[in-house]
Amino acid sequence: MNKKMQRGCLWLILCGCFWLMVGCSTTHSRVAKRSAIQPLKTEGYTVQVGVFSRQDFAARMESKLLKQHLDAYYFRDYSAMYRVRFGNYRSQIDAEKAAQQLKQKGIISEFRIIAPSSYPTSLFVEGGDARREQIVNTARSYLGVPYRWGGTSAAEGIDCSGLTLLAYRSTGVELPRISREQYAAGRPVDVPRRGDLVFFTSPRSRDVSHVGVYLGNGEFIHAPRTGKSVRIDNMTTGVYAARYVGARSYL
């Protein structure tokens, strides 16, 4: 291959790299600015296996159920009690069958089936202050829980979108699992309200990669990263202000 042909090939390679970089950058920008509301689901039939006044008792029961490979979680309700639940079944019969099997094994003693009708039927309504407080209370109940990528429990650790997933699940709203899908599923709001979700980009791109529950007065609760625990931070200054990309509401 002569020098002229070599220079021509090199030029084509450089042009290809340039357009590839432009394309990736454009894609990241579009992801960060997505605002289309995707349909959300409400919880199906769940099984409640205990109501506790102490968080450590609820966490112990949650851990017991997780060892049975169940989708278990707990949350703090309006009366400051901790409710432990598992499952998301399509019918009451399926939920009762799963609960009875655990009871026969001696893993649980009593249970209650929670029907979808127990949750609000409308996801986008005006007001909803009671549900907002429920979301915040649930998120706060995980303060101090260590971060674990992919985690959704106090017993095993929790990540940012796992925290928001559990917070909203306590009100019967089933969010997508990962932060960028949660961002796409919500209704854009210019000024977040207590209980809304706030989203942030990654340090190296404009892609949505982090989420937390807004508390008010510029504060939000989130699971930051490996080596840290669920905590409250201010999003109006520092790194979070620089990476903030927007807020979403689901109520």
pLDDT in tens, 103-153: 999 999 999 998 887 765 444 444 557 888 889 999 998 999 999 999 888
- Per this entry, what is the length of the chain? 251
Quote the domain boundaries for residue 164: 41-249
Asked if pLDDT for residue 13 goes beyond 80, the answer is no
Does residue 152 lie in a domain region?
A: yes
Count of domains observed in the chain: 1
Does residue 237 lie in a domain region?
A: yes
Predicted pLDDT of residue 42? 63
Distance, CA of 225 to CA of 155 (rounded, Å)? 17
Does residue 165 lie in a domain region?
A: yes
Predicted pLDDT of residue 170? 86
At position 167, the amino acid (one-letter code) is A
CATH number of the domain at 106, please.
Answer: 3.90.1720.10
φ/ψ (deg, to 5) at 86: -150, 160
In sign, the C-alpha dihedral spanning 149, 152, 229, 235 is positive
For 215-246, how does the pLDDT look when each residue is reduced to its tens digit (9 = 90+)? Answer: 999 999 999 999 999 999 999 989 999 999 99
Asked if pLDDT for residue 165 goes beyond 60, the answer is yes
Does residue 116 lie in a domain region?
A: yes
Higher pLDDT, 5 or 63: 63
For 81-110, how does the pLDDT look when each residue is reduced to its tens digit (9 = 90+)? Answer: 889 999 889 899 999 999 999 999 999 999
Q: What is the mean pLDDT of residues 169-184?
A: 90
Of 7-11, 50-54, 106-110, least confident by mean pLDDT is 7-11
Does residue 53 lie in a domain region?
A: yes
Does residue 28 lie in a domain region?
A: no
Q: How many CB atoms lie within 10 A of CB 9?
A: 11
68 burial (CB, 10 Å; 0-12 / 13-18 / 19+) is middle
Q: Are 140 and 229 in contact (CB under 8 A)?
A: no
Distance, CA of 33 to CA of 40 (rounded, Å)? 19
Q: What is the helix (H) or strand (E) element at residue 63, kind and residue range? A: helix 55-66
Q: What is the helix (H) or strand (E) element at residue 200, kind and residue range? A: strand 197-201
Distance, CA of 210 to CA of 129 (rounded, Å)? 25
Does residue 208 lie in a domain region?
A: yes
Higher pLDDT, 86 or 172: 86
Asked if pLDDT for residue 28 goes beyond 60, the answer is no
Does residue 196 lie in a domain region?
A: yes
